[in-house]
Amino acid sequence: MIVCSCHAVSDHALRAAAANGLSHHEIVAATGAGTDCGRCHEAVSQIVSASGPCRGAHACPGCPRRASR
């Protein structure tokens, strides 16, 4: 399904990028998802955080998983 209409980014593309170890910021920079109108920002964040491996010390600032490690 398309998550970001402005940049035609699918949930599959977001999950694939997260599974490849990209951080939230790297995924947004690479896809543009959540950078235009902002309607999908929350959905993008949820998909990325639920899909990728935790990056531990390299997690995004404010990541709740970072504090638990």
Give alpha helix (H) positions in the chain: 11-19, 24-31, 41-51, 64-67
Domain boundaries, the chain: 2-67
Query: For 2-17, how does the pLDDT look when each residue is reduced to its tens digit (9 = 90+)?
Result: 999 999 999 999 999 9
pLDDT band at 23 (very low <50, low <70, confident <90, very high): confident
pLDDT of residue 1: 94
pTM higher than 0.75: no
More confident residue, 30 or 52: 30
Domain spanning 2-67: CATH superfamily: BFD-like [2Fe-2S]-binding domain (1.10.10.1100)
Determine the pLDDT at residue 62.
Answer: 63
Residue 52 C-alpha from the chain's centroid: 8
Which stretch of DSSP H or E encloses residue 2? strand 2-4
Under 8 Å between Cβ of 44 and 14: yes
Cα distance between the two ends of the chain: 32
